[in-house]
Amino acid sequence: MFFIYRILIFGLIGYELTTSKSALTSLEVMCFLSLVIFDVLKTKYIKTRIMAHAEWLLIVILCFIHTAFFAAGGFLLPDILKEKRYKIPYIAILVAPTLFFLSLRQIFLYLLYLSVCFYLTVLMNRLEEMEGHFKKVTDEERRSIYELEKSKQLLQLQKEEGIHLAEFKERNRIARELHDTVGHRIAGLYIQLQAAYKIRMKNAEKFEALVEKTITELSSTLSLIHDTAHDLVPKRKTGLDTVRDMVDSFNYCETSFAFPENVEGITASHWRVLEANVREALTNVFKHSEATKVTIELTANQHFIRMFIHDNGRGAPVPNHHLGLSGMSERVNEMGGSLTIDGRSGFTIVCLLPRTKKEGGLFAASNR
């Protein structure tokens, strides 16, 4: 909004210079270009109080060269409104030179022009305040979401620890059951076989009965061992399943997810980081990218795990590291990995995680 405001003022000054009664001189052109360059430096690169005062001085000097430069006073109104003190003296300095160079009619038109500029400046300041408030609320919302995400991860970790504890207790129970039932049964079968061996020559009928009974009880014992071993294998949803479910349920645009056949070597802690980063990336695609396709690739070798995420949306030449991206970077850093972000052609995120902390030391200063 301020950019359009300044463009309109420059257009008005240029119009006044080209339509004045006297021919446009090279000095006036140089003055106009100097004003443009100075204003760009002040608004974009050198935002200091000294630069603002220097612009005041430049505009006053230019007013002595041509009355068209009085319109540049509109550039000074935003600085005046930001002043907590001395607003009236600044306005007086802005208006006083007109008494020496302009007619009464021109002074009236100039005051009307300043009034319009003042109204537009107040309006733009309010819009800027509203935008700042909106950004603040949005950041607080993202921060709350991030904190909830961390709490969710903590709860998930506690849940997994609870599951592990339950499994540990179950394993102890199974171990006791193996000792109390299977162990005793095998000991009894061993005694039966010894007895059958001793009477094999004396009582063939009883020998066959003991062997048959031993075979039946041994079959029952094998079934018990099979059932017990089956209970030792936990049934749980893997990290790959979670990521696939997220990709499959993302209906905003076309998505593809490529992954290696064997992902058993990827630990639960690695999956937590990958799941959170994929979730954040898909959320950003939905909110900001306007993409039509998202590509996700997971590769792994014996040293590193790499997650590549790319969308063909509008991108961001200078990525804004808001709370979501900062959270991704923080999670990756905790694992000793690196996070690379490129917004020049669509938006690309490359997450590289080491399998061990020793390998993670390679990325101590590579995150960007």
Each residue of 92-140: pLDDT tens digit? 777 777 777 777 888 888 788 888 888 888 888 888 888 888 988 988 8
How high is the pLDDT of residue 219? 82
How high is the pLDDT of residue 258? 93
**Radius of gyration for the alpha carbons in the chain, expressed in angstroms and rounded:** 39
Mean pLDDT over the full length of the chain: 81
User: CA-to-CA distance for 231 and 322, rounded, in angstroms?
Assistant: 46
Among the residues of the chain, which ranges form H helices? 2-18, 26-40, 49-65, 77-82, 87-95, 98-101, 104-177, 183-198, 204-231, 239-249, 268-284, 323-334, 357-360
How high is the pLDDT of residue 368? 46
User: CA-to-CA distance for 75 and 91, rounded, in angstroms?
Assistant: 12
Indicate the helix (H) or strand (E) that contains 257.
strand 254-258
Indicate the helix (H) or strand (E) that contains 272.
helix 268-284
User: Is-above-0.75 flag for pTM?
Assistant: no
Backbone angles phi, psi at 233, to 5 degrees: -90, 110
How high is the pLDDT of residue 364? 46
How high is the pLDDT of residue 233? 53
Whether residue 265 has pLDDT greater than 60: yes
